[in-house]
Chains A and B, each alone.
Chain A
Amino acid sequence: DVKVTQSSRYLVKRTGEKVFLECVQDMDHENMFWYRQDPGLGLRLIYFSYDVKMKEKGDIPEGYSVSREKKERFSLILESASTNQTSMYLCASSPGPDYEQYFGPGTRLTVT
């Protein structure tokens, strides 16, 4: 079974803090994704990566950056957290184009 794990289920941070969200997959997948999920808006793509050290912006990259130093790990970074980044963050991985994406359980981030 594909397993996508995220470092925390719940996280509370203060405005202005630097926040790291970690995602690890155990199936040697090429592609990894970060989404945020908000009520009434569905899931929106923040960034994705198609190979180690390779990344592309998604639909809402502003205020976020990512890092992929190893194939199995994809990190989302909030350089200076703001209250409008309070959300559920979901990581996903996929073997490549035209394959399904496998999702982690999500991290609920609250920025106060």
Chain B
Amino acid sequence: GNSVTQMEGPVTLSEEAFLTINCTYTATGYPSLFWYVQYPGEGLQLLLKATKADDKGSNKGFEATYRKETTSFHLEKGSVQVSDSAVYFCALSINTGTASKLTFGTGTRLQVTL
């Protein structure tokens, strides 16, 4: 079956530190990969995505590269801000023909302090 494994949190960083959140996946077929972010009290928002091997998704200073050889999609940001404090979910998507079903990791909470 399909699964996503991401690093346990919480991750606590000082403002302007470098961020890496690891994500690896197992999938049959050729999934698309996503990072979603959930700010306190809100639903999930798409942060970035990549649809094929070697694609790089980027948004708001965050980046992730689809690595088929290592089945990974690690999230990085060069300099985090307090406003980046949230829960980050890695997910893969498989097109079933009628819909694309998302499989999520367990989420990683990021806490950024001044």
Contacts and interface: CB of A to CB of B under 8 A. Distances in A.
Interface of A: 4, 30-31, 33, 40-45, 48, 50-51, 54, 56, 58, 90, 92, 94, 96-106
B101 to A, nearest CB: 6
5 contacts: A42-B106, A44-B104, A90-B44, A97-B96, A98-B32
A44 B104 CA distance: 7
Contacts of B95: 97-98
A41 B99 contact: no
Chain B binding surface, main DSSP class? strand
Interface in B60-114: 89, 93, 95-107
B99 A31 contact: yes
A56 B32 CA distance: 21
Interface of B: 4, 32, 34, 36, 41-46, 49, 51, 89, 93, 95-107
B30 to A, nearest CB: 11
A44 to B, nearest CB: 8
Contact of B89 (A4, A43, A51, A94): A43
B55 to A, nearest CB: 14
Contacts of B97: 97
B49 A100 contact: yes
A96 B44 contact: no
Given A40-B106, A42-B89, A42-B104, A100 B98 contact: no
